Structure 1
Amino acid sequence: MDKEYDVESAVANFPDYISNYVRTSETTRKVLKNRITVSYGHTVMERLTVYPSANPNAPVLVFVHGGYWKLGLGDDYDFVAMGLSLAKFTVVIVTYALAPVVTIPEIVRQVRSSVAWTAKNIDAYNGDPTRIFIAGHSAGGHLAAMATLTNWKEYGLSNNIIKGILAISGLYDLEPVAQTFVEPALRITADQVLSSSPLRLVVPSAIPLIVAWGSEETAAFKKQSLLYLQAWQRAGNDGSSLIVADANHFSILEGFLTADGYLTKAVLSLAKNS
């Protein structure tokens, strides 16, 4: 089980991918100079970075990073904004507190709060609050999926604020994750498996879903993605797959770097059909 979920060991040059994320994010910050960082909660880690579109009333993408809920910052993923900014989106990159300092349910709560902040404030950053889309990678795919299950009325919002989701190489059932090497940091309980596994919580939804994964992912990650998509479709929902040839768990995010990148185009297709 550990081998199938150890995505770092599954690629030959894992440190190079992370270095590239950081380097490309630094370039993005230099090119897109209108970057704004704001707090969406009461703790230091509850912050997000907004890259406003140059166009008023632009569609909005909220991006949630991965790292097994215990690694990374939104700043490391600013490169996600590059292609979408060229495509005239306002982009929001979310940072959240990490395990073991906080639990997965608390991280879910924080991500939901970041989306609520976006819905209430993004018009000040040339974003259209009626056209919010969400994407997440790896653990961020889980968190994005959990955001679609939110009762937004508890936040003073309508329940249709998310207009589409792109779930990338995600984790949608926590039960097998709880049996792996990451469990000591995550402390996943039986109750959390039931309450925080999107695969087990799928309901009829008007939100269109694209589930993306790389052809070079481990079997466990491919299975998680396929099972989530199948559950979504069985509920009568609009769901499709994007299998990226020759992409692994880390290289797949390169699809955000240009306006015609495969992940940029996936978000554009959600926006076009919403």
Structure 2
Amino acid sequence: MAADDVIKAHVKALKEGTDHARSLAQTLLNVPYGEGEGEKLDAYIPTTNSLDVPLVIYLHGGYWQFLSKEESGFMAVPLMDKGVVVVAVGYDIAPRGNMDLMVSQVRRSVVSVVQQYSHISGLYLCGHSAGAHLAAMVLSTDWSQYSFMPEIKGAFLVSGIYDLLPILSTYVNEPLKMTEEVAIRNSPSKLIPQTLKATGVNVTLEDVSNTDHFSIIEQLVDEDYHLTKLLLKMMGKR
């Protein structure tokens, strides 16, 4: 497939999965987490009487310049079947949004979600590509600057970009207009002086065979997919 066709197929797969989830789930759509027009989220809520209800916040990819929460509910069906709430977060992609704004938005979205869904048993993050970068930035937040410190029990970072400096000289940076200073302060790899393992966090690295950058996340619609099982296992749901 040509590069443009790969992107189109990816967007189509995610949109179809999201439409399917919306047809099956109880949803709360376009819930504001801030005052900005792009600061909205969608919640996919399982039918369950259990008090053990984990919540996964999903941050979409798209090189910070395409995709949206409208294509980000695709993974909800297999997770809802296990009693998991899925929240897809929107943020202002470039050129409307810059990197500092996007990072600020996803951090604030996490605080808002925890305050709105205070009954959840555990908060988890999942992000793909640029969304994995944003999830990593959430993990490196100095929460003393906020009125609330969320307890994040786990994170699932899929095919992320953790050093933004190599992007500066590429076409990806044209709409982002990042300077070196912006790239450094928004690179998770520059913000963590020691490894996550050294801080006592349980870390695993998975090399998922027979996938590419796009199919690795698209397949989360399948309850039998390796990463779906791992995500549920992380939450104690499998």
TM-score computed with the length of structure 2 as normaliser: 0.90
- Mapped pair 1:154 → 2:145: yes
CA deviation map 1:181-231 (0-9, x unaligned): 111111111111221100111256xxxxxxxxxxxxxxxxxxxxxxxxxx4
CA deviation map 1:74-111 (0-9, x unaligned): 11121121211112101100011111112111100000
Match of 2:43 in 1: 50
The aligned runs of 1:109-188 (5 Å cut-off) are 109-123=104-118, 128=120, 130-158=121-149, 161-188=151-178
- Mapped pair 1:63 → 2:58: yes
Whether the 8 Å CA contact 2:14–2:218 is kept in 1: the answer is no
3-state secondary structure, aligned to 2:70: helix
Q: Which stretches in structure 2 are left out of the alignment for 5+ residues? A: none
User: Aligned partners of 2:129, 2:157: CA distance in 1, in Å?
Assistant: 8
Match of 1:72 in 2: 67
Greater Cα offset, 237-246 or 38-47: 237-246
1:49 and 1:81, CA in 2 relative to 1: closer, same or farther beyond 3 A? same
Matched letter for residue 16 of structure 1: A
3-state secondary structure, aligned to 1:132: strand
- Name the Cα RMSD after superposition: 2.1
The aligned runs of 1:234-273 (5 Å cut-off) are 237-272=201-236
Match of 2:28 in 1: 36
Q: Which runs of 4+ in 1 moved over 6 A?
A: none
User: Aligned partners of 2:225, 2:87: CA distance in 1, in Å?
Assistant: 18
3-state secondary structure, aligned to 2:236: helix
Percent pairwise identity: 30
CA deviation map 1:24-56 (0-9, x unaligned): 211111111x11020001111100001123234
Greater Cα offset, 79-88 or 111-120: 79-88
3-state secondary structure, aligned to 1:25: helix
Matched letter for residue 72 of structure 1: L
User: Aligned partners of 1:234, 1:58: CA distance in 2, in Å?
Assistant: 30
Q: Which stretches in structure 1 are left out of the alignment for 5+ residues? A: 1-7, 205-230
- Tell me the number of residue pairs that the alignment of Structure 1 and Structure 2 aligns: 233
2:7 is matched with which residue: 14, 17, 26? 14
3-state secondary structure, aligned to 1:99: coil
Matched letter for residue 143 of structure 2: W
Matched letter for residue 50 of structure 1: A
Match of 1:94 in 2: 89
- Mapped pair 1:193 → 2:183: yes
User: Aligned partners of 2:19, 2:214: CA distance in 1, in Å?
Assistant: 18
CA deviation map 1:55-83 (0-9, x unaligned): 34400100000111111111112112121
Whether the 8 Å CA contact 2:54–2:85 is kept in 1: the answer is yes
User: Aligned partners of 1:235, 1:116: CA distance in 2, in Å?
Assistant: 23
CA deviation map 1:224-250 (0-9, x unaligned): xxxxxxx43466642111111110111
Whether the 8 Å CA contact 2:17–2:75 is kept in 1: the answer is no
Greater Cα offset, 139-148 or 232-241: 232-241
1:180 and 1:29, CA in 2 relative to 1: closer, same or farther beyond 3 A? same
